[in-house]
Structure 1
Amino acid sequence: MKPVCLVLGAGAGIGGTVATKFAQEGYHSCLCRRSDQDGLDRLVSNIEEKGGSASGYLMNAIEENVLEDLILNIEKDVGPIEVLVYNLGAQTGMKLLNETTLKEFEWGWRMADLGLFRVAKILMPIMEERGSGTFLVTSATAAMRGNKNQHSHAAAMGGRRMLCQTLNAEFAPKGIHVAHIVVDGMVDAPDTLGKMLGEELFKQLRETKGMEHDGLVLPESVAETYYYLSQQHRSAWSHEVDIRAFSDTAWWNS
């Protein structure tokens, strides 16, 4: 039975690429996303075509018991979850205070914080009993700096960072590695940045800052960092990592 890497938020960017990397390294990758069955099937098929093993799940993470049931079923039917990648975004858009609804603000908290808490609540005791496990939590610039049009996102990501710190303080001595990963920049991901910018602007951005230029954060390179974190010796665990492209310059100012 292979160890399992469970990726919550497995889109075509960081999540799906991280799942692919772990599958290549001998894990069974469980990919979870909210929608787009065809996209999910393509990710699973691509992993299998490269000799890896994977399974896909559609789910709405804020629904009651969905996360808990998923984890228990994977533990029972697929294998032990050795690596959990919490990659669920909580971006509600660039909005000033009077444009941000209570529903949007609460949704950000549910995705960024309550979801992570629920996953930890069910999975941490299982990992603790085994004496090992890794929680890799994707975060964003908003966890470190609050801008005027990011009320929901900054509050949600700031809370995510602090939750990671409290989980680490309790569970690191029990053998569980918690890493909060700040992705400080725009990621070359069609189903996140692409949707936010629109097809034409995203295409322009990829042509000027994409794979050949390394101006965007490349999911393939991020995946290498995630895998490295999962393999660190406990005498030198990294608990917070800041990822950004070498240029570190906003594309619209260049």
Structure 2
Amino acid sequence: MPDQKPVFLVLGAGAGIGGHVAKRFAAGGYHAVLARRSDEAGLRRLVDDIRDSGGEASGKLLDASLPDSIEDLVEDVERSIGPIHSALFNLGAQIGNRRLEDTTYKAFELGWRLATFAPFRLASALLPRMAQRGTGSLLVTSATAAVRGNAGQHSHAAAMGGRRMLCQSLNAEFAPKGVHVAHIVIDGPVDAPDTLGKMLGDNFDAYKASKGEDGMIDPAAVAETYWHLAHQPRSAWTHELDIRPYTDTPWWNDN
């Protein structure tokens, strides 16, 4: 249909970065498809918020660790809603600080499955379709662990480092085919109630207050950066960038 909206797919559509990026793309004329593992009520709130603002959105609960779940989602969206113009992989794999002896094989492997294998599966299902159309973008949220392995982060650092290298390889193969792959390092605390908020629990408000005004990453501001990345002229594509509050020390200077 000539008036069909382009589709924006989000894996990891929580109340932080994923949900805000979905809202930004919907406001920009996309049909946003939001997928998350749990909290159907929270997913429904995000979808309703977009629709109440005049946008188009759909929601689906999805366990990305299950075989064929990501692949089936891409197939279903392309068939029932429309071609996916842009996608955001926003799933994390943080299991907390654990010493080597406290990191089980199962926990280590789960980090890889969520942080490295899952975006590989999304790319395998989606990027050849984008390449055939000659356009599209894959935005991948990452973390400081992708570029620096701290103590207690064996699973997370290994998995996120693999995610970064995967994005570089995907970009090398698919950029010449018109598909933009961008790797975004979130190098600081995000003001998100269902990620950092859950980790800190009752201490979240005090932590936020301690950071001061604009001392935490605003997911709505991040959404503007993601929108820009997905719409850069192809003569000036950005593959990797990092984001942090102005008060934070960059990872390469924080000793």
List, as ranges, runs of 4+ consecutive aligned residues in structure 1 with deviation greater than 4 Å.
Answer: none
Letter in 2 for 1:239: H
User: What is the match of residue 222 of structure 2?
Assistant: 222
Pairing 1:50–2:53 present: yes
Describe how 1:4-83 pairs up with structure 2 within 5 A. 4-83=7-86
Among the aligned pairs, what percent are the same residue?
61
CA-to-aligned-CA distance 1:179-231 (integer Å, 9 cap, x gap): 00000001000111011111x21011223336xx1100110010000000001
Give the structure-2-normalised TM-score: 0.95
Q: Which residue of 2 is the match for residue 160 of structure 1?
A: 163
Task: Report deviation, 1:122.
Answer: 1.1
Q: Say which of 174, 179, 185 aligns to 2:177.
A: 174
1:117 maps to 120
Give the structure 2 partner of residue 205 of structure 1. 207
Displacement after TM superposition at 1:130 (Å): 0.2
From 194, 199, 208, the counterpart of 1:196: 199
Secondary structure of the corresponding residue to residue 94 of structure 1: coil
Change (3 A) 1:148 1:208: closer
Gap regions ≥5 residues in structure 1: none
The structural deviation recorded for 1:249 is 4.9
Q: In 1, Cα distance between the equivalents of 2:29 and 2:208? A: 31
CA deviations over 1:104-147 (Å, ceiling 9, x no partner) = 10000000111111111111110011001100000000001000
Q: How far apart, in 1, do the equivalents of 2:207 and 2:57 lie?
A: 31
3-state SS in 2 of match to 1:31: strand
Partner AA of 1:206 in structure 2: K
1:21-79 CA-partner distances (Å, limit 9, x unpaired): 10000000000000000000000000011111100000100101110010011001011
Partner of 1:242: 242
Cα distance in 2 for residues equivalent to 1:150 and 1:207: 26
TM-score (norm 1): 0.96
User: Structure 2 counterpart of 1:207, which letter?
Assistant: A
Q: How far apart, CA to CA, are the structure 1 residues paired with 2:113 and 2:126?
A: 18
> Partners in 1 of 2:249 and 2:150 — Cα distance?
17
What is the one-letter code of the residue matched to 1:101?
A: T
Q: How many residues align?
A: 248
- Whole-angstrom CA distance in 2 between matches of 1:31 and 1:208: 32
3-state SS, counterpart of residue 186 of structure 1:
coil
Separation of aligned partners in 1, 2:121 and 2:6: 22
Separation of aligned partners in 2, 1:33 and 1:19: 12
- Provide the C-alpha distance between the structure 1 equivalents of 2:132 and 2:163, rounded to a whole number of angstroms: 25
**CA separation in 2, counterparts of 1:158 and 1:247?**
25
Matched, 1:140 2:143: yes
Q: Which residue of 1 aligns with 2:97?
A: 94
Q: CA RMSD in A?
A: 1.3
